[in-house]
Every structure is written in C-alpha cells, then in structure tokens.
Structure 1
C-alpha cells in the first residue's frame, strides 16, 4: 500500500492534517512535502517522511510523489503563479503513479459569478486540470477560517463596531482543525472519488448577525456599521497590510456580503463525524484576546 502525502507540510492546514493523521495511522504510511524540510523537523522526529519539493520544480515533485497512493494538494498561495504550480503538481502526480489527488479550493458560488481576486480563476483551472487528468480526484472547497476572524472584522469591534463592506450574505466559517479532519477523512476513507464537497462550519451568519452575537457576548452593543469597499481596503493599508494583500482580504469580505460564501451544506459534518465548531462558540472563547485580560482577576 502506497503512502499518503500532504503538501504544505509546514503550513497551517498541511501541518494540522499530518498531526491528525498521526493519530490514525502509523507514521511509516505518511509523507509530507515542504520547500524547507528543516521546518518540519518535529514531524520527521515522529516518523513522517518529509520530502523536499517545490510546486515550481516539476522534477522535485515527481521525486517526492514516488510511492504515493493518495495526495493532498494544498492549494498554492494567492498572488503567485498558481496555474503553473497546480499544473506541475497534478502532472507530476500522474507521472509518479499517484492514484487519487485531493485538492483544497476556496468555496465559491459559480452561479453568482463573483471572482475572489487571486484564487477563483486558478481554482477553476486546477479543478478542470484534475478532471482532465484521468486521476481520481476530490475537491474540498474550504470556507473562511474561524481562526482568522480578527482579519475580517479587526480586533477592535468592541470599541469601533463591525465595519465591513455592506451586504446581507452569510458565511459559516470553520476551524482549520475541523477542515484538517475533513482532509484526513478523505485521505483515509473510501467513496470520495470524483466528488466535490463544499465545507462549512455549523452556523451561518451575516456580518450584521455577527455584530449582534458580539453584543450578546460583550454585554454592550456592538454596532454593525457598513462601510464602502474602498474605505475598508484603505483601513487595512493604513494598518500596514501590503496593498495586494488588503485587496485580497477586501474581495473576500465584500464577497461574503454579496453571497459568495452563502451556500451551506452538511458536507463537513458528514465527513468528520461530529458537529464543527460554530462561529458563536469560537467568539465566546477567543474574541478578542484582550477581553480575557480585561476580565481576569486583579
């Protein structure tokens, strides 16, 4: 039986996936791909076969995928040549004899035609390439990450309100750990071939509803204050984000209001076998960190 290989072994999603796999399978069945294998020394010490490779280096991928049965292809970062990287990885997987490729895309609603800058077009390309490759494939369309909630509304909503571009669309964000558990379910399970899953957390809400939830948690009103897209973008630039990153984040948050993340399914819960953490549960425990300091005993 071939190995299961996870790319992006030192990234947030790839590392979590390998850590969960170690709870289910012997380490000798697991491999990880990294451009900097030394950064995965902790996984290597636990017996995971960490292999060097770069999405831009086709030959390195062919070598890294040797003896691999199932491959989790964590999508490349935005604002890089994602098409070239994903094509190299899929072609190398076929060359190396990989049977099944699982690709992590970003949730989208094709009917709405909303393009998330930096990712939508290259996700479509990767999915089309997979379907044309002859390989078994699974596409896991990820939602927004609960772990990055501060990036959407800032860490100061209790003081300044929820200031985001307008819209009543909803999202059901999920924890990276729950999404990693879905990766594990597909990597270790059967019957997922040639299937696309849309993954969501267990509770959907608009930003207006999120402001109401923060009000309940905080015990004081947290207003929902829609702002123009350009104002939202410029606020992140003023806070030090590079403009292209601010544009990326703004497109995502504006897309929520427009409905690009509103399609909700129970795919994540069915894959992982438990109820994913809801945004309300996460906010009660984690937003913002300063709240815990304010309420700590003196």
Structure 2
C-alpha cells in the first residue's frame, strides 16, 4: 500500500479518520496536511512517524509538496463561507500534477432530482464532484448526511426551550462522526472502491418531533416539540447572537430535513463499516451534549 494523506487532519472528521487509520496501517505510511504542524496533536503523531505538511487548500504549491509520493488523498471538504470551489479544485489539480492515484472526497447527501439548495454547500459540492470525475484520477465520492454531533445546532438546548423549529414532517438519517470516519478508513485501506459514489446515510430516520420524543424518554421529562415560523426561527437565532448569514445557513439545513432531503437509508455506511451505524436514540442517550435539567 502506498502513502495515504489526510487533509483537514485536525478537524472533527479528519482527526477521527486519522486516529482510526493509524490503528490499521503503519504510521510511516500516513501523511497529513494541516495549517499548524506545531500543534500538540500533530507533534504527537509526527514523533511516531507520521509525515506532517503545513499548508492549505488555497496554497497550491503547498499542496504539490504535500502530495509528492502520495497514492491516496482523503479530501475533507472545505468549510462553508469560504471559496470552496477554488479550494477543492486546487486539491484535485495538485493531486493530478503530483501523480496521486486516487482522491476520496466527502460531499453532501442530496436527492438527485431535488431542486433544494443549501447555501454555501450544495453547489460547491456538485462542482467538486464534477471536477473530480473529469480529472482522470480514480475517485471515491462519499456523500455525508448531517452529523449527529451537530444536529442540536439546529434547535439549541432542548432541555431549556424544547425543540423549536419550522414545521415539517421530514426525517433525517443522520450519522455519527465515528461511523463516517470508519467508512473513510475502509475506503482508504481497501481496493475496489475506485470510481464509485456512496451515500452514507445513518441507519434510522428521525424528524424533529421524533428527537423531542426520544429526549423526553431518555430524561423522564416532557420536552416539547413546537413548530414555529421561519421568521420566528431566524429572529430567535439572531437574538441568541448568531449572525444573519449563519442563521440563514442553519435554516437551509432545517428546510432540507423537513422536506426529506436526507431521509433515504442506502445501507452503504453499514456495508462499509461492517456493522449497524449508531442510531439517533443511542447517540442521544450515550453522547448527550446538552445541559442537565435544573431544578
């Protein structure tokens, strides 16, 4: 197996992918692209033999240097509210120039016939997928659902205010970062995934009303689900200190969930990781991120 490079290796998904990968392959077969090679997290891996490169998606020369001698690049998609098209294209072009054989890209789940667009995400992910397919590189596209770890950002702390979101009956088959990282590692360490796309939906769908009901069961109290207008939702978010662009961004995800954009369950994630992904109920029970009930 040739050298594997993970971009965004200190981010949420990238760091989990790196940690799991290092349990499967020798440290000296792994490289990372990070903005700060002097962080304690990265220095710890470098001492064990991981090759660390300082750079970012907008620095083309840093990408070329990092990709030298690399067989597979794990391209963790760029953050929203940045020039994602340029960043993704730079990675793909540099990988091609450097002689990389395969690029694995984390995209977003979407219904192929859907007209719904999530600002800052949908169109740039489509652009990256198309650029990767046209590059001549072997590719694997991993379409990710919303993360279970960030679902609470759409409705805040339900133990204090309940689950208050715009009305909708759609469900979301969210998945955990741990399970998605395991899928990344499966692709990076196995053959046969070249020029394929996978839809990494979780194992169970849930609406916002379902989440409120599950939380009520877990904590033995009534946590209400309340359907509010989009205007009230946005006004509440802004009143809580979020800037308007971020509020619009979150509202886009809520609309997608409420219209069933992420409701399909493909089974791809389970097949890749060899076990059923964690359900939203088990996640809420075992990794609950909210405050405790105050008497």
Equivalence for 2:280: 279
1:257-282 Cα offsets, whole Å, 9 max, x none, are: 01111122111111011111110001
- Report what 2:93 is aligned to: 91
User: Structure 1 CA distance, aligned partners of 2:197 and 2:177?
Assistant: 19
Write the distance in 1 (CA, Å) between the matches of 2:45 and 2:241.
33
1:243 matched to 2:244 = yes
Q: Which runs of 5+ in 1 are unaligned?
A: none
Distance 1:289 1:166 in 2: 23
Q: SS at the partner of 1:72?
A: strand
The residue aligned with 2:43 is: 41
- Structure 1-normalised TM-score? 0.94
The 1-side partners of 2:69 and 2:228 are apart by 52
User: In the alignment, which residue of structure 2 is the partner of 1:135?
Assistant: 137
CA gap of 1:288–1:10, structure 2 versus 1, over 3 A, is closer
Aligned to 1:80: 82
Q: Any unmatched runs of 5+ in structure 2?
A: none
Tell me the secondary structure at the aligned position of residue 222 of structure 1.
Answer: coil
Check conservation: 1:165, 1:232, Cα contact below 8 A.
yes
* Alignment-derived partner of residue 16 in structure 2: 16
Alpha-carbon distance in 2 for matches of 1:52, 1:290: 37
* CA displacement 1:34-73 (0-9 Å, x = unmatched): 1222222222233211111211111111111000101100
Shift of 1:149: 2.8
Aligned-residue Cα RMSD (Å) equals: 1.5
Residue range with higher mean Cα deviation, 120-129 or 187-196: 187-196
CA–CA distance in structure 2, aligned partners of residues 79 and 119 of structure 1: 9
Contact 1:158–1:218 (8 Å) recurs in 2:
no
Which residue pairs with 1:192 in the alignment? 193
Question: Which secondary structure state, in structure 2, belongs to the residue aligned with residue 4 of structure 1?
Answer: strand
The 4+ residue runs of structure 1 with deviation greater than 4 A are none
What is the DSSP-based 3-state SS (H/G/I as helix, E as strand, rest coil) of the residue aligned with 1:147? helix
Q: Which residue, out of 100, 103, 110, partners 1:101?
A: 103
Taking the aligned partners of 1:276 and 1:232, their CA distance within structure 2 comes to 31
Equivalences for residues 212-231 of structure 1 within 5 A: 212-231=213-232
Report the Cα distance in structure 2 between the residues aligned to 1:77 and 1:29, rounded to whole angstroms: 27
Whether the 8 Å contact between 1:211 and 1:222 is mirrored in structure 2 is yes
Superposed CA deviations along residues 208-263 of structure 1, whole A, max 9, x for unmatched, are 22222122222232222111122212222221222222221121122100111112
Contact kept, 8 Å, 1:171 with 1:261, in 2: the verdict is: yes
- Give yes or no for the alignment of 1:70 onto 2:97: no
2:208 equivalent in structure 1: 207
Structure 1 residues 42 and 231: alpha-carbon distance in aligned structure 2, compared to 1, 3 A threshold: farther
Q: CA deviation at 1:108?
A: 1.2
| Partner Cα distance (2:174, 2:240) in 1 | 24
Are the equivalent residues in 2 in contact too, given 1:174–1:276 (CA < 8 A)? Answer: yes
1:45 and 1:243 map into 2 onto residues whose CA distance is: 43
2:260, 2:124 → 1: CA distance?
A: 20
CA distance in 2, matches of 1:72, 1:285: 29
Aligned to 1:52: 54
Q: For residues 124 and 186 of structure 2, what CA distance do their matches in structure 1 show?
A: 25
CA positional deviation for 1:150: 2.2
Secondary structure at the counterpart of residue 275 of structure 1: coil
The Cα of 1:77 is off from its aligned counterpart by 0.6
